[in-house]
């Protein structure tokens, strides 16, 4: 095995480091109820007005789902509770900003480039390439963690950037192999569904737990109101720091194309397509590695089954609704072609977005590609069959509808012949 290949051989029975054990032991006890979350957010911000209170129903479903997830350990529960408080605090600050500056609601969000695609299909890399262009506004991690600055708090670097660097630095110290799977550098662009977090929607809870109740609630509700809420946050962020043409990305855009287009009728939508079996092994290996500190009971079969189902839902919605995005506003990007010539792929997106690929933009893109080669932090060795017991043939049959619609290149996994 190559020296830069990372083998994680204790996914089912983690051998915890002392730092991991200490982090788990330090987790506070939390109570998953709505008023506990809202009270903590009020105390953190000194604010009271959450705006429309329909979000409380969704928050209650989140919290009940977390309570029903019997495999969550103390650190997993504390993390999820903390995320709810963070989102509720952001909601308070958004409402406060709009109250003080109602003109924000008049800001136009101009033809955003909204990248969709399965997790682990190159969406993060693509949006970070595009975000090097200063003509485009994006959502760096530090800003999605705290979109609205604390009134009166200033400094250079931004205190929010400092806090994010400290927080994620601590996280990566506890889970040192995580950057090889998904680097969380504060300045790198993060998913814009974080902007739906304060409205307590999206599939965000699914990355940290097994929230079956929330998954089904989310699947049964139109997401248009939550895309409108995220657009409102985009207006606030544009007012704080322009410009007003955005480039963002999130996998759930695949399953919410009608809602996306209702809220952003001028959006340009690049959609990345990768073999879902390759996506599955990458995603659940990353999740299983993180679960060693989040969960007191590790069930790799359950994890695999959850995400096979979840990926199928994403893909079926995409196949069903793909043609709702006009041809002159959309582009399908096959992962193998994208990886073979990233600059050509970026040029296609620029052309679709009617955006000139200037010499400055090209130089920035070249710099990013040189600094961020694939496998920069090492390559993880995956074993979908050995670690998770997945029947690859059965999964491929389940995803056949997607292979029929999009000519993705099938990527052989360990123990499989193609």
Cα gap 73→181, rounded to integer Å: 23
What is the DSSP secondary-structure string of 34-67? Answer: HHHHHHHHHHHHS----SSTTHHHHHHHHHHHHH
pLDDT at position 1 is 43
Structure tokens at 92: 């308070």
154 CB neighbour count, 10 Å cutoff: 9
Place of tokens 């109570």: 31
Query: Over the stretch 50-61, which tens digit does the pLDDT of each residue have?
Result: 999 999 999 999
Identify the weakest region by mean pLDDT among 112-121, 146-155, 290-299, 341-350: 146-155
What average pLDDT does the segment 204-212 reach? Answer: 97
Question: Rounded distance, CA 53 to CA 58, Å?
Answer: 10
**What 3 state SS string does 330-397 have?**
EEEEEHHHHHHCHHHHHHHHHHHCCCCCCHHHHHHHHHHHHHCCCCCCCEEECCHHHHHCCCHHHHHH
Looking at per-residue pLDDT, the higher value among 375 and 282 belongs to 282
Instruction: Count CB neighbours of 368 within 10 A.
Output: 17
Share of the chain above pLDDT 70, in %: 98
Residues 258-296: tens digit of each pLDDT: 999 999 999 999 999 999 999 999 999 999 999 999 999
Cα–Cα distance measured from residue 80 to residue 62, given in angstroms and rounded to the nearest whole number: 9
C-alpha angle with apex 218: 217 to 222, nearest 5 degrees? Answer: 115
CB within 8 Å of 169: residues ≥ 6 apart: none
Of the two residues 35 and 167, the one the predictor is more confident about is 35
pLDDT at 377: 55
pLDDT at 112: 98
Provide the mean pLDDT of the chain: 95
Rg (the chain; Cα; Å): 21
Tell whether the model's pLDDT for residue 130 goes beyond 70.
yes
- pLDDT tens for 395-412 read 999 999 999 999 999 998
CATH placement of domain 5-405: 3.40.50.300
Give the Cα separation of 330 and 114 in Å (integer). 10
The conformation of residue 16, written as its DSSP 8-state character, comes to -
pLDDT at 73: 98
Residue 418 is predicted with a pLDDT of 66
Helix/strand/coil for 124: helix
The model's pTM is 0.95
């Amino acid at each position: 095995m190559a020296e830069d290949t990372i083998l994680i051989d204790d996914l089912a029975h983690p051998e915890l480091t002392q730092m991991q054990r200490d982090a788990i032991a330090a987790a506070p006890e939390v109570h998953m109820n709505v008023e506990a979350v809202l009270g903590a957010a009020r105390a953190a911000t000194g604010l009271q007005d959450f705006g429309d209170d329909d979000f409380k129903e969704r928050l209650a479903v989140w919290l009940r789902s977390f309570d029903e997830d019997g495999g969550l350990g103390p650190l997993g529960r504390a993390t999820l509770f903390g995320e709810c408080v963070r989102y509720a605090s952001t909601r308070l600050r958004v409402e406060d900003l709009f109250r003080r500056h109602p003109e924000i609601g008049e800001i136009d969000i101009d033809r955003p480039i909204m990248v969709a695609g399965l997790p682990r299909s190159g969406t993060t890399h693509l949006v970070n390439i595009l975000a090097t262009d200063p003509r485009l506004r994006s959502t760096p991690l530090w800003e999605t963690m705290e979109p609205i600055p604390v009134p009166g708090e200033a400094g250079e670097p931004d205190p929010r950037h400092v806090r994010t660097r400290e927080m994620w630095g601590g996280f990566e110290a506890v889970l040192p192999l995580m950057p090889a799977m998904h680097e969380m550098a504060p300045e790198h662009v993060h998913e814009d569904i974080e902007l739906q977090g304060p409205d307590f929607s999206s599939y965000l809870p699914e990355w940290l737990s097994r929230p079956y109740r929330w998954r089904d609630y989310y699947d049964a509700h139109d997401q248009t109101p939550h895309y409108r809420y995220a657009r409102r946050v985009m207006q606030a962020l544009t007012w704080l720091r322009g410009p007003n043409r955005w480039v963002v990305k999130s996998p759930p855009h695949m399953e919410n194309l009608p809602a996306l287009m209702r809220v952003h009728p001028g959006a340009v939508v690049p959609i990345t397509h990768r073999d879902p079996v390759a996506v599955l092994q990458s995603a659940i290996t990353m999740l299983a590695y993180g679960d060693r500190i989040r969960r007191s009971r590790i069930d790799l079969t359950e994890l695999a089954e959850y995400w096979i189902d979840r990926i199928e839902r994403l893909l079926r919605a995409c196949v069903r609704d793909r043609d709702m995005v006009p041809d002159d506003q959309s582009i399908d990007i096959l992962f193998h072609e994208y990886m073979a010539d990233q600059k050509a792929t970026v040029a296609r997106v620029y052309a679709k977005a009617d955006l000139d690929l200037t010499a400055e933009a090209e130089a920035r893109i070249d710099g990013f590609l040189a600094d961020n080669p694939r496998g920069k932090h090492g390559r993880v060795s995956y074993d979908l069959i050995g670690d998770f017991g997945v029947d690859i043939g059965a999964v491929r049959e389940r995803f056949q509808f997607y292979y029929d619609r999009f000519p993705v290149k099938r990527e052989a996994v360990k123990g499989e012949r193609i």
